[in-house]
Structure 1
């Protein structure tokens, strides 16, 4: 099953609520980005820029073209116990 991001909602600072195509949702803290390096990640270290995230073709994306693999994000969040079924969230 191909996993895509349906929605992303900013919860404050660098926390996002991410809804996936398999009807799961979870919250993810992206503060670790501040300690990462690379030209594509540098703009994301600024809060205002990070919060310009949007979903394009099922992928978290930023204006500079940086994107986050939805399957890797889903798997990481699932392993960390951060995902739950949408119907359980309501």
Structure 2
């Protein structure tokens, strides 16, 4: 089971994600947040968007929205946006 081990805000609605299998990628949440559902509406505010945290390997926000690592990993892989992390020199 893949887990998110590190998440870092990049800009706008983009978050850099590092996964437990050593892969990483930048996920752009703009299209998901454009749906403006009750769970995504609060994240239109960039300050609210930046309040994400990791819980049990998933990406979460305080108001209850969460994304599983498996879903985010699969989306990045399908979009060719996932790559192996560079090894530390």
Q: Same fold (TM over 0.5)?
A: yes
**Structure 1 residues 89, 48: closer, same or farther in 2, change over 3 A?**
farther
> Can you give the 5+ residue segments of structure 2 that lack an aligned partner in the other structure?
none
| CA-based RMSD | 1.6
Correspondences of 1:1-90 after superposition (within 5 Å): 2-87=1-86
> Can you give the 5+ residue segments of structure 1 that lack an aligned partner in the other structure?
none
- Could you tell me the TM-score, scaled by structure 1's length? 0.89
Please identify which structure carries the higher helix content: 1
Distance 1:89 1:15 in 2: 24
Q: Give secondary structure in 2 for the equivalent of 1:87.
A: coil
Distance 1:89 1:20 in 2: 16
How many residues align? The count is 89
- Could you tell me the TM-score, scaled by structure 2's length? 0.90
